[in-house]
Amino acid sequence: MQLPEDRPGTMGVNLTNWPAISSYVTNRHDTYPAISPSLADLRGKSVFITGASKGCGRATAVEFAKAGCTRIAVAARSDLTDVVAAVKAAARGKDGDAGEMRVVAVNLDVTSADSMAAAAATVSEAFGGVVDVVVANAGYLEAWAPMHEADADDWWASWEVNVKGVYLTAKYFAPMLLKSETKLFVAVSSIGAHLIRKHASSYHINKLAVIRFVEYMQEEYADEGIVAVSVHPGGVKTDLALSMPDFMHELLVDTPELFADSIVWLADKRREWLGGRFINACWDLGELEGKKEEVVGRDLFKFRMTV
């Protein structure tokens, strides 16, 4: 997602060093052969996805099915009937059918500990106490306004979903991740973490917190094998993104499948070197992997204060 410099008629934005981050490798706007789910083999694997009723969450569930994933749990506050049907229709078995696939739909509120605990119990029972991949995708964007004019409850609701929701997802699903071999935890962050744009203070700050949370989670569980990453999903025309001011909509040029297939790529092979790091789903991930030595050697894509 490329952002233009300030121009008349738009609110100011401090890009910090996002242009350098964004252009580290070639940018993509749609899925591409190197991350195609047809190349992955997720048979016998399980995934749990929050915010799965639409947008990037729904696409992730469908693409995991295409990759052969046989245990898929989708979670959201809204109805998931059509998502379950889409996942089953996309399933790839030995004979091109759903085979051994099991799809579990869970209605939950990611800001409620009781709701998340109940969801974890349901998924644990369905998947034998093990989850290989967790995608904390549920998100919220407050109404844009200057800090002093913002509705305080709406401002804080963004933190409740985007930070507390990620924490509760980790709290209740990490025990199941630790029993798997894949052990991948994905938290959806945003380009917003790298910007200081007027009138979006809550979202931009809490997405920065998500990236630091992932760094912390990696440090806490690295010895036990968890690989935790934060991912910017790209500029996708989701309901959340379309709630931004109209002038931002021209930046929404990426497909949800680009994000979804990037997560499939992450799940198909353990890449411990990415643990604790921020990833841009628009990056060409093959090119990124070619820069592994530089990324690790310079300890890139973590937040640090420069001196």
Q: Which tens digit of pLDDT belongs to each residue from 163-219?
A: 999 999 999 999 999 999 999 999 999 988 898 888 889 999 999 999 999 999 999
Q: Does the pLDDT value for residue 92 go beyond 90?
A: no
What is the structure's pLDDT at 12?
61
Q: Does the pLDDT value for residue 6 go beyond 60?
A: no
Separation CA 122–CA 126 (nearest Å): 6
Amino acid at the residue 62: V
14 φ, ψ to 5°?
-95, 110
Single out the catalytic residue among 45, 183, 207, 221.
207
- Mean pLDDT on 30-45: 97
State the pLDDT confidence band at 10, using cuts at 50, 70 and 90: very low
Single out the catalytic residue among 164, 203, 216, 269.
203
* 207: annotated active-site residue: yes
Question: Could you tell me which of 47, 176, 42 has the C-alpha nearest to residue 104?
Answer: 47
Question: Could you tell me which of 216, 45, 189, 51 has the C-alpha nearest to residue 119?
Answer: 51
The rounded mean pLDDT for the chain is 91
Structure tokens at 113: 């500990």
- Mean pLDDT on 97-125: 92
What is the structure's pLDDT at 98?
53
Q: How far is CA 8 from CA 11, 128, 216, in A?
A: 8, 57, 40
What is the structure's pLDDT at 93?
58
Comparison of pLDDT for 16 and 275, the residue scoring more: 275
Q: In what helix (H) or strand (E) does residue 279 lie, and over which residues does it extend?
A: strand 278-280
State the pLDDT confidence band at 252, using cuts at 50, 70 and 90: confident
Separation CA 28–CA 25 (nearest Å): 10
Distance of CA 88 to the CA centre of its chain: 22
- 50-59, 94-103, 109-118, 177-186: the lowest-pLDDT one: 94-103
Number of neighbours of residue 8 by Cβ within 10 angstroms: 4
Number of neighbours of residue 299 by Cβ within 10 angstroms: 10
Question: Could you tell me which of 128, 122, 127, 160 has the C-alpha nearest to residue 141?
Answer: 160
- Mean pLDDT on 255-270: 97
Q: What percent of the chain clears pLDDT 70, i.e. is strictly above it? A: 93
Separation CA 193–CA 202 (nearest Å): 10
Q: Does the pLDDT value for residue 1 go beyond 70?
A: no
Q: Where does the chain have alpha helices with state H?
A: 18-22, 55-66, 81-90, 113-126, 152-159, 165-177, 201-221, 239-242, 256-268, 285-290, 292-298
- 11-15, 108-112, 161-165: the lowest-pLDDT one: 11-15
What is the structure's pLDDT at 94?
43
Q: Does the pLDDT value for residue 9 go beyond 50?
A: no
Q: Does the pLDDT value for residue 86 go beyond 80?
A: yes
* 203: annotated active-site residue: yes
Amino acid at the residue 64: F
Burial of 192 (0-12, 13-18, 19+ CB in 10 A): buried
Cβ–Cβ under 8 Å, residues 187 and 166: yes
Q: What percent of the chain clears pLDDT 90, i.e. is strictly above it? A: 78
Separation CA 60–CA 246 (nearest Å): 26
